[in-house]
Chains A and B, each alone.
Chain A
């Protein structure tokens, strides 16, 4: 009998198939294949058929504009590239500064590369006035094109670090993050595209020539109608530089679930900053982080006694403990990452250590 290599490996196996779920595998597969069939009727089979590339060449179609959010989402160190295309003549409805509306036909792509190789490209498509369609494409070995991933995603497609492998998310997992906030488009917002970029943002990316920013969108008349503040103020999280960077990081990495619009019973505090936060709004956000217990209990702690944030003591703060964890019941965010973001942990820890709240 082959011994189990480690508890971690065993957990991975159990998580993948489910111990009892193995009994039901035929039923589950049947249900999945029906869902897949429905999606495949609408989604192109290959990335090259989605409009990302020029016809006949795996080069980006110049109609697709690249951009880089100032606070990138941590995805285990993946190198990301992003593009957006609006339909011909299409404009973004930016009357709500934090919840832009996109015309039907809008497509976003995000490419994930590890160790110099493209692994997957995700597409977010405004397919109808009421629908955002999610898809992921897995790159072939020759790096010439990518194939539509099943609705259930693809587990463990490539090793990204010793003992760690990247998983292409299921479409339900896409909705887990993208369907909880004011808009499903998370990285293309007024705050993320602000020309007043945060120099202390972890993993901040330099703007390449031609990249879309808020200013460029306005100058190109692509925001119409729009909140008039967008034309005269540059979105910026208020507060000292540490607070700005920490809240920006938390907005991008936590705010898609931890926001005031969330209907999750267990989400107790907002971590999402708007484009134009007033000092009062900043104070209110910080007050929600002030000493309070969480539903999550630190190991060895009595139930209900673990503080969300203990000012001056990041090591006693649930927020940091869960960012540092990749154990199944504790890790935050709960999906999309299997490697701790040490830079993010250091930033938030340093901020908590130096704050009184």
Chain B
């Protein structure tokens, strides 16, 4: 029963990602942006293959319904979208997401997809290539800080080589910067109970 539930959950999420990817592929076909260096091109290919747009690119309503807003490509959860409090995880309903597909709730609290554009104040503009690679290797913000929260599949992305991760960074740095201050993650309501360790030494 438990395994079946997990399979259904993962299948549903995979279908969601696949649908988003198909939408994006169609939108991307009209992209006339000049080709960059080989690394940038490789990075763009990996970003598309990795479905990064599905969560990091906001949606807009087009003629056929929601579609990626490529004018804000990879700029993360829109700062202007206010969300009510997320439900508390309970029982088998462990996690979920907002309709924007840029905000998610679960036992980790609430996470918002990051602004990956090179905006210096709100995006990756101040990040070094090394920090980016280490972040995806360690699953930590800037490679050293708080954990990168679910559902960001950093474990999957970390299977890329350093060269590929650097290519992804090169592509992200080639994007037009979008000023969009993504909210900080919200901690879960439950604070771990105080614990008593042996006398501190």
List chain A positions with a Cβ less than 8 A from chain B.
Answer: 1-4, 6-11, 13-15, 17-25, 27-28, 30-31, 72, 74, 76-80, 114-115, 160-164, 170, 172-173, 175-177, 180, 202-203, 205, 257, 263-266, 295-297, 299, 303, 325-331, 334-335, 338-343
**Among A19, A77, A340, contact of B198 (Cβ-Cβ < 8 Å):** A77
Do residues A334 and B146 form an inter-chain contact, with CB atoms below 8 A? yes
> In chain B, what residue has the closest Cβ to A21?
B155
Do residues A163 and B192 form an inter-chain contact, with CB atoms below 8 A? yes
CB-defined contacts of A205 to chain B, threshold 8 Å: 201
A202 to B201 alpha-carbon distance, docked (Å):
9
Closest CB pairs A-B (n = 8): A77-B197, A24-B156, A21-B155, A161-B195, A265-B126, A10-B107, A11-B107, A327-B187
A203 to B156 alpha-carbon distance, docked (Å):
40
CB-defined contacts of B189 to chain A, threshold 8 Å: 7
B1 within 8 A of A: yes
Min CB gap B112→A, angstroms: 11
> In chain B, what residue has the closest Cβ to A304?
B181
A264 to B141 alpha-carbon distance, docked (Å):
10
A335 to B88 alpha-carbon distance, docked (Å):
25
Min CB gap A301→B, angstroms: 11
A-B contact pairs, 25 of them (CB 8 A): A2-B2, A7-B190, A10-B106, A11-B188, A22-B6, A22-B10, A23-B10, A25-B155, A27-B156, A28-B156, A77-B199, A79-B198, A162-B193, A164-B192, A164-B195, A170-B138, A172-B137, A175-B134, A176-B143, A203-B201, A264-B145, A325-B191, A328-B146, A329-B108, A339-B195
CB-defined contacts of B199 to chain A, threshold 8 Å: 77
CB-defined contacts of B195 to chain A, threshold 8 Å: 161-164, 339
Do residues B140 and A80 form an inter-chain contact, with CB atoms below 8 A? no
CB-defined contacts of B10 to chain A, threshold 8 Å: 22-23
Do residues B142 and A265 form an inter-chain contact, with CB atoms below 8 A? yes
> In chain B, what residue has the closest Cβ to A263?
B128
A114 to B196 alpha-carbon distance, docked (Å):
12
List chain B positions with a Cβ less than 8 A from chain A.
Answer: 1-2, 5-6, 10, 13-14, 88-89, 91-92, 94-95, 106-109, 126-128, 131, 134, 137-147, 149-156, 158-159, 181, 183-201
> In chain B, what residue has the closest Cβ to A176?
B144
> In chain B, what residue has the closest Cβ to A68?
B201
A114 to B94 alpha-carbon distance, docked (Å):
33
A7-B188 CB under 8 A given contacts A28-B155, A329-B149: yes
CB-defined contacts of B92 to chain A, threshold 8 Å: 1, 3-4
Do residues B201 and A14 form an inter-chain contact, with CB atoms below 8 A? no
A327-B109 CB under 8 A given contacts A15-B147, A263-B128: yes
If over half of B's interface residues share one DSSP class (helix, strand or loop), that class is named, otherwise mixed; here it is loop
> In chain B, what residue has the closest Cβ to A162?
B195
CB-defined contacts of A295 to chain B, threshold 8 Å: 184
A115 to B143 alpha-carbon distance, docked (Å):
32
CB-defined contacts of B192 to chain A, threshold 8 Å: 8, 163-164, 326-327, 338
Report which residue of A162, A163, A263 has the largest number of chain B beta carbons within 10 angstroms of its beta carbon: A263
Min CB gap A338→B, angstroms: 8
Do residues A266 and B150 form an inter-chain contact, with CB atoms below 8 A? no
CB-defined contacts of A263 to chain B, threshold 8 Å: 128, 131
**Among A76, A163, A329, A335, contact of B186 (Cβ-Cβ < 8 Å):** A329
> In chain B, what residue has the closest Cβ to A81?
B201
Do residues B108 and A328 form an inter-chain contact, with CB atoms below 8 A? yes
Min CB gap A345→B, angstroms: 11
Report which residue of B88, B158, B181 has the largest number of chain A beta carbons within 10 angstroms of its beta carbon: B158
Do residues A14 and B107 form an inter-chain contact, with CB atoms below 8 A? yes
Min CB gap B111→A, angstroms: 8
Do residues B95 and A19 form an inter-chain contact, with CB atoms below 8 A? yes
CB-defined contacts of A177 to chain B, threshold 8 Å: 144
A72-B2 CB under 8 A given contacts A19-B106, A176-B144, A328-B187: no
Min CB gap A211→B, angstroms: 15
CB-defined contacts of A325 to chain B, threshold 8 Å: 187, 191
A175 to B134 alpha-carbon distance, docked (Å):
10
A232 to B64 alpha-carbon distance, docked (Å):
78
> In chain B, what residue has the closest Cβ to A343?
B200
Min CB gap B183→A, angstroms: 7
Do residues A266 and B153 form an inter-chain contact, with CB atoms below 8 A? no
Do residues A30 and B159 form an inter-chain contact, with CB atoms below 8 A? yes
Min CB gap A173→B, angstroms: 7
> In chain A, what residue has the closest Cβ to B51?
A20
A8 to B190 alpha-carbon distance, docked (Å):
7
